[in-house]
Every structure is written in C-alpha cells, then in structure tokens.
Amino acid sequence: MAILVVGSVAFDAIETPSGRRDRCVGGAATYFALAASYFTPVRVIAVVGEDFGPEEESVLTRRGIDTRGIEHVPGKSFFWSGSYMKNLNEAQTLNTELNVFQSFSPKIPAEYRDSEYLFLANIDPVLQADVRGKMPKVKMVCGDTMNYWIRDHQENLARVLEHLDALLINDAEAKMLAHENNLVLAARRILAMGPKALVVKHGEYGATSFFGEQAFLGEKCRTPFRAPALPLAEVVDPTGAGDSFAGGFFGYVASQPQLTPAVFRRAMFYGGVMGSFAVERFGTERLQALDPKEIEDRFALFRQLSHLD
C-alpha cells in the first residue's frame, strides 16, 4: 500500500575521501522515497524552487514515485553542503540554506488522501504535526528527527512523538532526546514519550529496535531486535544512509498485508540493505537503478552475516 512521505527534496554538495559532487538531488524525502520505491508505491510532499526542473524531478518519477505533492514555488530549493573528510561516520555541515523551505506549508493533494502509511522525514516538527493531523486515518506513522529539533524545539517535537508508531533515529539523537547515555534506559524514556517502537540506527554496526508497553505487535515483540549492517570495504558517501534505512524499513512494512513481529524484523533487515546500497555511490546514484534481484541477494547476505544456521 502507498506510503506518503513529507520531507526535504533538495540539492546537496558533498565531499568525501572518495571525491566530491557540487550539486546532486538529495534531501531526506528523496532518499526515503527512492529506497521505499522498490517495495511499495510512494507519494512525496515537499517544496522546491525554480532551480528544480523536470530533469531533477525525473530522479523520482523514473522510479514511479508520485510527485504531484511536490510544490514548485519562486526562489531556490533547499541546499545543504557537507563534508566527510574528517569522519565518515558523521557529516560536518558546511552550509544549510533553507530557501523555499522557510515558508513551506504542506498541502495534501486529493489523490494522496487514501495513503495508508505516513513517513514524517526530518523537518520542522510543526510541519510534521501538521501533516499528521491532516491524515487522521493512516494505518501506521513513522518519523525521524535530528539534534537541532531535539535541542531547541522540544515541545513541538513532543506533540509529534505522541502519535508515532515508530521513531527512527541514531544513537546520539536517542541519547540526547532522553538525556540518558545508556541506550536501554534512553529507549524506555523515549517510548514513554509516545512512540510504540523505537529504531536506533548504529551506522556501521546496524540498528536495534525497542518496543514499548502499548499494544503493538503483541507480546512476542517485547525483546529488542538487532539487525546487522554490512561491513563495507569502501563507503563512498554516507549521505542519506539513515533515510534509505527508513525507506527500506517502511517500504517493506507497507508492502506486507499485516504488520507482525516477523515483518518488523525483516523490515529492519531491508532497512540495513537499502542503507548499504546508498553509501556505495555518491548521493542517490546507487538507489536510482537497483535491480530487485540485487536487493534480494543482499538480504540473503545480511541473513548469512548474522544467522547461526
């Protein structure tokens, strides 16, 4: 079933030890949508400027992604530039220009109203809550956030967390959000803020999911679950790995008739799979043209990598 994603569609300038790109189509919603598109129909809500033309949009439409919710307005698109020269595990942000995102007011096209799954990518929690409120009937809502919103927009973020089925963030964000350095205790505190599940991404070490006391997936899913990441000899560009994880995770969930503990676990693996592809090339290059067989082969590799038998 269709996933609706709201988030940034942007231009990125990236430098890593493997090289640089001055202008590639990026943004959390772009990575998420591309990764999820291998599993289920995806619809995007975002805003772009006059610099974002049909060629740029074709990065999404070639994958069958519905872009009717991408609003085109006067001005320049959101721009981010970052460097991984010092540390491949964490981007050093060189520049962020919100541009047209500064006055973004998400509108939901009529054709998107029947979306059963909603992903709130990392944007202002006020916008996340706004879109969530406009889609009261969705079956499942997942979301992401980042240090900036955790630190300076706590109250707005709290209103988003209350209504999430799953929050997907990284270790540092989880510890910051919970004011707690132990991951298990941090997870408990975050689950008490509302999300029924928490997926903590550990970069090269995989991801762990924690489950709250609320009814979700039944008793069998009280145990945390750890999915591996693939040890890679070369990480060309880590940009978008977390969003690609979320796209693989939620795309797989939305492709299944029912969310069971087994589906949740497999979704964690597909998250890792899509994250591992994303970092193999610059920007979204690798995610634009994957073969379904490559995805299944890598899923099998993730299983081989982590399973006893």
Query: Which residues make up the interface to a copy of itself (CB under 8 A)?
Result: 88, 181-185, 187-188, 202, 204-206, 208, 210, 223-228, 231-235, 262, 265-266, 269, 301, 303-309
Amino acid (1-letter code) at residue 221: C
Which of residues 141 and 187 has its CB atom nearest to a copy of itself in the complex? 187
List, in order, residues 6 or more apart from 93 with CB less than 8 Å away. Answer: 80, 81, 82
For residues 155 and 309, which CB has a smaller minimum distance to a copy of itself in the complex?
309
Give least dist CB 111 to a copy of itself, A.
35
In this complex, which beta carbon is closest to a copy of itself, that of residue 149 or of residue 249? 249
Cα angle at 240 between 239 and 244, to 5 degrees? 150
Smallest gap from residue 40 Cβ to a copy of itself (A): 20
Chain CA centroid to CA 178, Å = 20
Q: How far is the CB of 230 from a copy of itself (least distance, A)?
A: 9
Spatial CA neighbour of 169 closest among 145, 186, 203 = 145
**Rounded Cα–Cα distance for residues 167 and 274 (Å):** 18
State which H helix or E strand residue 16 sits in. strand 10-16
Query: For residues 102 and 182, which CB has a smaller minimum distance to a copy of itself in the complex?
Result: 182
Bridge partners for 69 per DSSP: 45
Report yes or no: 34 and 284 within 8 Å, Cβ to Cβ: yes
Q: Which is nearer to a copy of itself, 74 or 231 (CB)?
A: 231
Say if residue 56 is exposed, middle or buried (CB neighbours under 10 Å; 0-12, 13-18, 19+): middle
Taking CA atoms, 169 is separated from 9, 186, 274, in Å, by: 19, 12, 16
Quote the DSSP letter at residue 276. H
Tally of CB atoms within 10 A around 306 = 13
Tell me how far, at minimum, the Cβ of 185 lies from a copy of itself, in Å.
6
Minimum Å gap between C-beta 24 and a copy of itself is 23
What is the nearest approach in angstroms of a copy of itself to the Cβ of residue 202? 6
Shorter beta-carbon distance to a copy of itself: residue 134 or 202: 202
Q: Which is nearer to a copy of itself, 211 or 282 (CB)?
A: 211
Q: How far is the CB of 127 from a copy of itself (least distance, A)?
A: 32
User: Rounded to an integer, what distance in angstroms lies between the CA atom of residue 3 and that of residue 238?
Assistant: 24
In which residue are the tokens 């619809």 written?
43
DSSP 132-144: HHH-TT-SEEEE-
Nearer to a copy of itself by Cβ, of 94 and 184: the residue is: 184
To a copy of itself, the closest distance from the beta carbon of 70 in angstroms equals: 36
